[in-house]
Chain A
Amino acid sequence: MSNTPATPTPSPSPSASEKLLQRAAPDRVEFEDLVIVPIFAVIVALVLGALTMLATNVSLPTIGLSYIALIQGSVGSLNALSETLTAAAPLILAGLGIALGFRAGLFNIGAEGQLLIGGMASVIVGFSLPDLPMIIHLPLALLAGALAGGLYAAIAGWLRAATGAHEVISTIMLNLIAFRLVDYLLRLPIIQKTGRADPISKSVLDSAELPRLLEWIDPNLRVHAGIILVLAAVFLVHWILFKSTIGFEFRASGENPDAARYAGMRSGLIIVLVMAFAGALAGLAGANQVLGVLDRVTPGFSAGIGFNAIAVALLGRSHPVGVLLAGLLFGALEAGGRQMQVSAGVSIDLIAIIQALIIVFIAAPLLVRKLFPWGFQRTDKSSRSKTP
């Protein structure tokens, strides 16, 4: 607010300087927005989900059963946890990339396409280099995915920087191109699985597969080394954004491109770099799917992960840790949703509805505050409004 009162301290003393270095305690309102609002949002979404089921003639006991299945299928067993993590991994990777773009003021809709291209590149490296030890082959396959995704996204960045073409349009177009490009590549003899007429790639060699982590407990546990990649990516993105000079440039350009330019930052280069980073993360998500779960590429293997990742990034408020948590939530909903379908016979579409409801409510904290006035500290309306 422009009304900070003038404190009469013209003489600088060591203690004054120390005081300047003290951080304010986190705002109560901020804490509520970050923690309590999402919890309530999930609850409201589940309640509304139940009402939706009621409206579609699902009986009350079945609804109860389906929510129990949702919990069991997401966190109820080791297998459930393994499924949740497996589903969350690509969402978090791609979501981190999108969050990076948001921070730099870029709306990257192209994660889906970057993921497809990245997956394609890593599958090619994954099946075409026999006799390599895993310690070389696997990193190579991952790198190929990241590199391809990064380069693909950099096209949109370059278009924006050089011609001003808006990245929303160009990344949507690049998504369409990626879909068809993958279709085309899958019919090339060097890529298509031998003896198959349908578009399907050769399988990834064992030496390029992301190893399953819990195979020693139960061979059916699908959780794989991709989650280590995810954690590393969370740390890396956090470091880039908040600890590095390029992150400083990214954030400055995102908040105020004019001020960034006046400060001598090269906006064109920054745009291309951000897109390349974002694309690399999406490409890595594709590699994660191909090398950790699917073993090969089929048309549309991306399965909308690149689009769901946009919701994950928004839900995580473009903060790496937030993206991690949001991705886990979405992974849990997906894994639990499958169980819901199996045990209670409820449509998988319902899960999509609940996901959407959660996003709506988290995106509207004021609505949640209105619905649960007793859940929040009574806020003085004046302390929340700022004079320009």
Chain B
Amino acid sequence: MSMNSTAIQQTPKSQINFEQVKKKQRMKNFSKGMLFLLPSIVLFSVFLFYPLARTIYLSFFLTDAAGATTVFVGWENYVTMFTSPIFLQSMKSTFLFVLYTVPITIIISLFLAVIANEKLKGIGFFRTIYSSTMGISVAAASVFWLYLFHPSMGPLNLLLNAIGAEGIGWLTDPSWALFAIAITTIWMNIGFTFLILLGGLQSIDSSLYESADIDGAGYFYKLRRITIPMLSPTLFFVVTVTIINAFQTFGQIDILTQGGPVNSTNLVVYSIYREAFVNYKFGSASAQAVLLFIIILLMTFLQFKFGERKVHYQ
């Protein structure tokens, strides 16, 4: 009450120089807004926008070992990149890797989320277990799987031997290594993807299921006709994140295969790392980085355009 009355009393006075006050207020608002945003803007500029611009700039130059530009070469880094069999192999591996990891991660996590969404006793325990891989770092996960993939002692090959099959050179056979990296990655992704999908499932309005129950709908009918369509925005998000993550894969490769055997696991980020920080060719490494940036940008847009039509919004 008292607040209202003071506000009313002040009104006539401020009407006199209304425009001026408004202008002043606008300036004040602007500087205040900037004050709150300044820390983020400064850091984004220094560690994100400037480096991105600098990457594009570097991709047109040759550099010395310290990273200073020496010779302007125009598009030559790009031309070399697209004609280099090693890099083309790297691109092929990267796309194959995305193809391996994304669908399987989504299917497994969706299955886990659906069964963990039932109202059963002790379900919290299972949810914790399924999300556990999110807490396991890439270094630790890679060490776990390094042993699992071990040619003679590894449980996977022991299992194969036990059923009479021959052991696989998981990390040494060029036709298996990428798949082995994919398995490790899928396992690591499950925790996060599961958690997001479970959250999506729990936010579905339960009255939908109740009315379906009254109509006598079966379990799989409800899954197909209610759960999946209602979950589509979440699925859409999860697919995008998994694809982007797959393009950024690094740690698993550094510990498990170092890009080998015969470059079969030399995925794009590892290739950038090797070119820049092992070979000190910052120019051509930057060209690869620009390509990575463009791919991820395209993926995001494509996902958005393609995904939106199929997505069900409430």
Do A and B truly interact? Answer: no
